Structure 1
């Protein structure tokens, strides 16, 4: 007898390719059941023919259906003034007894449009209909028959509770942490999450604070993330990223400009200045320091910070910008925007940057009369980077390599931009490095949780930084030079006595008389007044 002969075994070998038997059951049809086409209803019930997949679905491993039992008497003569009061009473009582009750559907009046009937069911009611193909899906639905109905009495203007079936086919839950309903935050806890989020506290620390205030809270970190996203969506005005960004800039009264590709309307560069920075820049324009930082936003745009110094040696932000490319033309545009805010004011006398040729050339074009200096700190870092490895105490001859690098790379071309003998010819108030800009980079990145922040959120961080920059108005050691400047807040918009409605009417008539391509100008005007109507496209993600 062969080993592979089926008679070798004392029992028959099962066919693994045989389809498992499928059982069908036929439930009774409730002739009084409401139709499924009610307004606002997502049906979860099954009537008539029912597919019994209890042997093939994965609701709960080892689950055994129990006979219908209920220890709660739901019969009540109490009348409720609102639907929310009735539903709240039912949910609260169910939780106290280890069950979760949810809304099954609602029915609205065809005349008034208000809800007049609400169906309530156990969260384990209904059947699990999985459409998953590649993975096994589970469900907590096991067809629990529990059902209540709330009815609105138009005469008495109150709600009554009607019991359809008060039995469950499962035992009450011993722990309710797995149910989203009991993990829901109270209004006080939602306010706390919003407040702590605005202070940039991590979600895990927020949850720890909530549980410290309320030890009975069973929320999990995912609930905090979901609530933060919900709060963020509430504050979002606009559909596109540029509409959201421009709405933030407009509402915060920023001075801002954008530059787009004329063919695609994709934004390439963004310049913005905080209202406080606008005043400080016009009051203290003598020294300008500029540098770029990276890994700050989801579009990988270099982020430029322009920083100044006050008469009391305090750092303040002048302006900020996103640029698509670190080219001379981009830096020229940014500096021209900064220069445009100095109308009728003194231009900077000293500009300090690192040895970025594009930045240096842009500074020469926009501010030709200013003295341009190189940051000594960056020079020290470059010398250490290129020469420290080849220098040792035992080999002094290699010092010649250090000297040659310093001579050919820095002294021959740029000595008048960082050597004291030349820089002291201009009043620079002790500013010889861009360390103040580097400090602002570090300060900004304390707020960033990831390098993929949105542009609107980054503007929010800048706003918080600028709000903390308070300028000391009176100091005994103030330099006499600064006392000649007018530090009063300038008027951003001059008030003119004109008939705005009449003038806009004339503009509208003129535009209507023009060809269609000219009429597109009105969209640009509306985009300036209503940023959430902007048709500008978000910047392209830059390659690494």
Structure 2
């Protein structure tokens, strides 16, 4: 999209809202003739669709009710206004508000029975959004979609399947699985007449070392006679894995040896299968010395496999359905990634609103800012530069230097990995000239029978409906002897 900015830094998003309103009036796009709308819903639908085409999200600023009906609605950019903190909260909160001046006013005429729209200020003070997935107004479910969620939830359809059906009906839908869960919660709360559901308290298994833990469980659990001994062993093993220094690793290993003095088979299994061969790949004292950007899981393939199985939800699945479910998993993750990118670009978390981070906000991911804030609280004397080594982010001693000099943390001190807030777009032309030339040479060098064998393959590529390979006939019942002599004769032919 072409982005236009005035000398004072204002953005019109590649299109003027006033011109759009005039064009709508000329086409009668409001549905009521001229520049009017038959209803407030029609007005809001046009405003949001137009805003989306310009990559801006427009929301309601305030409305005015007169004699029991809404007579006026003031619209603004979702980045308009200034955040006002009411009270402190333990939740991680943030705001995308940067006092954007964009504003439009819709008024209802009771005498004429229609709505009119006027642009009061048609410019923004920020560039258009990159991904609409990061704007809550666009992720919100429409009334018909909310009704579909209610119906399918009553039929025990899984949330991921509900989301898939909604996206099939509307290819522009950018809702995430979280929107489906939120809608289900509201539906259930309404069904329970406002009563909250019982909160389930359960501990979540750590992602780190899950594959190893599962293997240890299968091979070592039976060696412990009581649950208490097994739990104690698990605690000691996790402490060993999370050793931060070589000295502490040796100390915890000796404690593990003492604990397993009557379980030599378990100690032998841990040494031969994991510690002797792979300790450098999962024990913290080694992994903290290499760049991993926080990804220390030992089962990336298995975790994706488990996620795919949740989407399948079937013991058996045909190939065509399987490919469709793989596509659903990828699209779901793709939407979540774009949502995360747009939030990092536009939403300022209140805990990130520090002078030291002013050069980083909006240019690196929220996760990176969280890591820097946690490192900022660390005493410089305790810094082992692990954040610099493992995450390629400023560590405690670096942050201390910037703080002492009264400087903000520069953007170039952050690795490019954390600065990627947009997905790569491959615009280069893709050609097959080289491959076709190579095929022609190979074809010319073939014998006559060889040329005949290659031609059907080329025809299958250019015309997939033509298939030269057919499935063999399968006999439904091949067991036993045929009942009549005629059938015996047919079988021998």
TM-score in same-fold range (> 0.5): no
Structure with more strand by fraction: 1
Structure with more helix by fraction: 2
Structure possessing the higher radius of gyration over alpha carbons: 1
Calculate the TM-score normalised by the size of structure 1: 0.30
